[in-house]
A = this chain, B = another copy of it.
Amino acid sequence: MPTDFKRKVPRKPKIERFTAADVARAAGVSISAVSRAFTPNASIAKATKARVLSAADRLGYHPNPLARGLITQRSGMVALLMTEVTNPFYPTVLETFARALSDRGKQVMLFTPAEDEPLESLLPQAISYGVEGVVITSATLSSKMQAACANAPVPVILFNRTLDCGEVSAVCCDNEAGGRAIAQFFAQRGRRRPAFVAGLPGASTSLHRERGFIAGVLEASLPAPIRVEGQFTFDGGMQAAAELLAMDQPPDAIFAANDIMALGVLDGIRRVGGLGVPDDIWVVGFDDIAAAAWPSFDLTTFRQPINRMIAETLRLLDSAETEVPALPSTVLVPGRLIERGSTGAPLPLTP
């Protein structure tokens, strides 16, 4: 790399900026046709569009969505505020969300708090960029943040969490139904001593899964679940397993409030030794992340329907633009139990 070769010359010739009018002239079409060629799903003949794009390519013309956004108040950007990082469920959400927006000609701006920065400071930042909507995935929300969401000048949607006050729209898997389904599954298959590994205190997902699980367990006349905490992390799950196995009467069926903790529980049980999965203890998680299906874990879990949850989120964003009034609404999407080896289902044949 010839880094000693520095001269005061520009790196490359300054790009000449062509306008939509230049492209229209070059393609022999109207300026409005140029605009429609660059608008996803706009009505325009295929051949015309091809002629415009080819002319734009020759001239190096790119429409400027920001300048357009300042006029139309539609920037084409949706903000995603994300605080969860250790849980592999969220990268999948991010990726699915980015693709779904991309299909509509929109883009995601990702906001994650800098170290020691509160989530609160990100919302006004996102709004200042002129985003059309804000989607928040965060296990916990301060009451100040809740108020800020309720009063934001653009639609705000909570993803995978709800507020009891109902003042902010939310899209969530039906966590309570999921917890109850797992309890019924344990009871029907003859499990007698259920345990629950909770996630972060204050997380609505963990709370609702636990509520449903307890209700289901009691309805089935099983004893109330033993309860330990796992912080929604792999290491937390390992420690929870150690705690549970050190008890006089260890559980015979463990429901961990998310998959990454459940994987930690499985490795924790292996590390302690003495008791085996599924012969002595069953383990069930929640999410269905990719690693749940890996043979080393082969984890039974309650699958969250990410695609449908994201479709519902986009629908809420759209309706906030068109419906008056758009009252805050909570959408609960049903998930389903995926049985695998950690509850005795046989391993599928080699792919």
Interface residues, chain A, CB within 8 Å of chain B?
1-3, 5-12, 15, 62-67, 69-70, 75-77, 85-86, 88, 90-91, 94-95, 98-99, 102-103, 107-115, 117, 124-125, 127-130, 151, 153, 166, 234-235, 238-239, 242, 263-264, 266-267, 270-271, 290-291, 294-297, 323-327, 329-330, 350-351
Contacts and interface: CB of A to CB of B under 8 A. Distances in A.
Contacts of A327: 1-3, 5-6, 11
**Count of identical protomers in the assembly:** 2
B323 A6 contact: yes
A114 to B, nearest CB: 4
Sorted nearest first, the 3 A-B pairs with minimum C-beta distance are A91-B91, A62-B128, A11-B325
Contacts of A124: 62
A76 B103 CA distance: 25
Q: Give the most central of A9, A75, A98, A235: most B CB within 10 Å.
A: A98
A5 B327 CA distance: 9
B329 A128 contact: no
A325 B99 contact: no
A112 B91 contact: no
25 contacts: A1-B329, A3-B327, A6-B324, A63-B128, A64-B130, A66-B69, A66-B70, A67-B70, A85-B95, A90-B91, A91-B91, A99-B112, A102-B111, A102-B117, A107-B109, A107-B110, A109-B109, A109-B110, A234-B290, A238-B350, A263-B296, A266-B296, A271-B350, A291-B291, A296-B297
